[in-house]
Structure 1
C-alpha cells in the first residue's frame, strides 16, 4: 500500500514538472516570436573625389655616364686621373703609346712628300707645254692633253696621300683619352703599362667610368593602372635609406609614353639637382607619387565590399531584395575604395554585406 502511494506521488511530481517545462518552452517561443527582425543598414551611392598617393621604388642614376675604352690596341703610358677625381670637359685622363703608330705616321708623311714632288714636276711640265703651245705649230694638241691628264692624275694622288696622312694623325690622337664632359671618375680598371684596346680586344672592362653626379636621374616604373596621373613638370617627394629623415624633391622631365612589355609599366624619369653630392648614383629611393582626383567617381567604404572566391561584389537593394553586382576596384585609401560597375548615383547599397546574403535575399530596411 505504501509502495502504491509513493509511486503515485512520483507520477504526480513528474507530471507537474513536465507541465512546467512545457509552459517555459511555450513562453520562450512566444518571446522569440515577439522579438522584431534586425534591420540591415544601407546607404545611397554617391560620387566623390578621392585623392591618394602610392609609394614605389626608384633608382638614382647619373644624368650622364660613359665607359671609356681605347680606340686602338696600345699600352698605358701615363695616368692623369683616378677614382674620385673631379674632371672637366676635355681634360686629359690618360696617354697611351703604340710604337707601330709612329712608324705608320712616318710612312704616311714620306708618301705625302713624294707625291708632292711628283705633282710639282707634272704641273711644271704642263705649264711649260702650255706656254710653248701659244706659238702655232710648236706643240701638238695631243701632247698638251696628255700633260694635262698627267697633272690632274698626280693632283688626285696628292689629295689621297694627304687624306692618308690625316687619317693616321687622327688615329694617333686616340692615344690621348680625354673627358667628354665634366664629372667624377667612378671607376678605373687599368694600371701603368697595361695592354688595352677596343672592348673584347684586350680590354674586357672600360679604362674609366665617368659620371655626372651633380645632376641625377630618378627612374621609376609606373604600373599601368596609375599611368596618366604624372605629367611633365610635376614634383614628387622621395627618401633614401641612408638618410631616412630627409625628404628630397624631384621634377618629372621625361615620360616614355609606352608600357614596358615585361613589366607592363611606363618608365618615368625625373631630374634631381645634387650639387652637394649628398645622393649617389645607384641608390634605391622610395618615391611618394600623388594621385589627384581628376573627376568624381563612386567611392564606398571597404566594409561595403563583398570579396568572394567568385570575385568582388556589392549588394544593391531593389524592391527590398538583394542583388549582387560585380565591380572592379580602382584607387583606395585605408578605409575607402573607388569602384566601377553597373551602378548609378543614388543606388541603395547594403552597408556591411555578408556572404550569407544572396541574390533574392529579403532585406528589411
Structure 2
C-alpha cells in the first residue's frame, strides 16, 4: 500500500509538470500570435501612410510676371542659306572625278566634278560629219544655180527649171544651218561635262561617287550648295502682332549653342497677308554671317519688338488645353489644386499674355499632368530644397565612401 501511494504521488507530480509545460507553450504561442497581429497592424498603418503620401503628386510651380513696355516677341525659326540649290548635270554619262567635297567653300565657276560622256563624243563627231556633208551640198547647189543662170540668159532652160535650182540651193543652206546648230548643241553638252559652282558658297551634300551613272535630266543632283553669308530665316508672327512688323525692322537672333550672344538681323520682306489656317504672317529676316559662325539648318529664336504697355504673362508650359478652353492649375497654401479658366492674349513665343483668370500671387503648376483635376492634393518641390537634398545626399555618399575606404585599409595586413 505504501508503494502504491508513492507511485500515485509521483504520477501526480508528473501530471502537474506536464500541465505547467503545456501552459508555458500555450502562453508562448499566444504571445507570438499577439506580436504578429500587432506587427501586421503596424505594417498596415505604414502602408496606408505610404499610399496616402504616394497619392500626392510632386509638382513644380511658378508665378505670372508683369512684362513692361517694349516686350519682345520671341519666335522660333530655322536658318537657311540665302541661296540653296542642288547642282545637277546636263550631260548623261559616268562620273569621272569629283574635285570638291562636303564642307568645301567654293567660288562661282570653280570646278566641282567631271563627267565622262562617250555617247556625247560620238554624237558630236557624227554631227560634225553631217555638217560637212551639208556644206558640200550647199557648195554644189550654189554652183548649179550659177550655171543655170547663165543658161537662162541664153534662153536654153526655162525659168521654172532655174527656180527649182535656186530652191534646192536655199534648202541646202538651211540644212547646213541645222547641222551647224546641232554641232553647237553637242559642243555645249561637251562643255557641261565640267560641273562648276553656280554661285559662291559651301557644299553641304555630295550625292555621287566615281563611276556613278549620271542622268542628264537632272533627276538626281550631284551636289547641294548653300550661300552662308548672308543667311535668312522665316518666322510666323501671330495676327495680334502682325501690324507691328515693317520692312527694315531691326531684330535680334539667338542660338542656344551661343548663350548670351545676339546676332543682328533685319526684316527684308513679309508675305503681306495672313495664313488663313494659322492666322500668322510669314516674315523673312536676313542676317550677316561673315565669320561663318551660324550654319544653315540651325534652330534659332528671333526676337521682334512687340510694343504695347505692361501686361501679365505666363510661361507656355503652365497652360492646359481642354474642351472647355485654356486652363491653369493653381496650388493653394494647403497643396490643394484648383483648375481655373484663363483668357489668353498675345503670344510672345515662350510666354503668352493672360487677359483674365490669373493673379501675380498665385502659384501655377509647371507642366501639369493631363489627369490633374480640381481637388487633387500635390506637394510643391522647391528648387532650393532639391539642391540642398542633393548636396546632403552627395555628402552622405562621400562619408560612406570614406568610411568604407578606411575600413578596407585597416583590414589589409
- Say whether the fold is shared (TM-score over 0.5): yes
Map Cα deviations across residues 124-178 of structure 1 (whole Å, 9 max, x no partner). 110222244334x233212211111111111111111112222222222222111
In the alignment, which residue of structure 2 is the partner of 1:266? 281
Give the alignment partner of residue 256 of structure 1, picking from 271, 278, 281: 271
Which protein is richer in helix relative to its size?
A: 2
2:140 is the counterpart of 1:121: yes
Q: For the structure 1 residues 57 and 143, does the alpha-carbon distance in structure 2 shift closer, same or farther, using more than 3 Å as the test?
A: same
Q: Work out whether residues 80 and 92 of structure 1, in 8 Å CA contact, stay in contact via their aligned partners in 2.
A: yes
Decide which moves more: 73-82 or 245-254: 73-82
**1:68 aligned partner:** 87
For residue 101 of structure 2, the aligned residue among 82, 86, 91 is 82
Match of 1:168 in 2: 186
Cα gap change, 1:284/1:176 in structure 2, threshold over 3 Å: closer, same or farther? same
**Aligned residues between the structures:** 264
When residues 301 and 279 of structure 1 are mapped into structure 2, their CA distance, relative to the original with a 3 A threshold, is closer
Contact (CA 8 Å) 1:218, 1:250: kept in 2 or not?
Answer: no
Q: In the alignment, does 2:121 pair up with 1:106?
A: no
Say which of 237, 241, 244 aligns to 2:252. Answer: 237
The answer to whether 1:150 aligns with 2:165 is no
**1:211 match:** 226
Q: CA deviation at 1:55?
A: 1.2
Q: For structure 1, which segment, 163-172 or 104-113, has the greater mean C-alpha deviation from structure 2 after superposition?
A: 163-172
Unaligned runs of 5+ in 2: 1-67, 314-323, 328-341, 357-413
**Structure 1 292/301 Cα, relative in aligned 2: closer, same or farther at 3 Å?**
closer
1:224/1:159 Cα in 2 relative to 1: closer, same or farther (>3 Å)?
A: same
Q: Distance in 1 between the 2:326 and 2:171 partners?
A: 85
1:178 to 1:243, Cα distance in 2 relative to 1, 3 A: same
Shift of 1:90: 1.3
Aligned to 2:215: 197
What is the CA deviation profile of residues 228-269 of structure 1, one whole-angstrom value per residue up to 9, with x for unaligned ones? 211100011121011012111100002111233443322111
- Specify the SS of the correspondent of 1:230: coil
Identify, as 1 or 2, the structure richer in strand. Answer: 1
* Unpaired segments ≥5 residues, structure 1: 1-48, 303-308, 313-326, 340-365
Against the structure 1 CA distance between its residues 281 and 335, is the aligned structure 2 distance closer, same or farther, given a 3 Å change threshold?
Answer: closer
How far the C-alpha of 1:199 sits from its partner, in A, is 6.9
**Counterpart of 1:121 in 2: which secondary structure?**
helix
* Stretch deviating more after TM superposition (214-223 or 254-263): 254-263
For the residue of structure 1 that corresponds to 2:246, the secondary structure is coil
Partner of 2:318: none
Distance 1:80 1:181 in 2: 16
SS state of the match for residue 210, structure 1?
strand
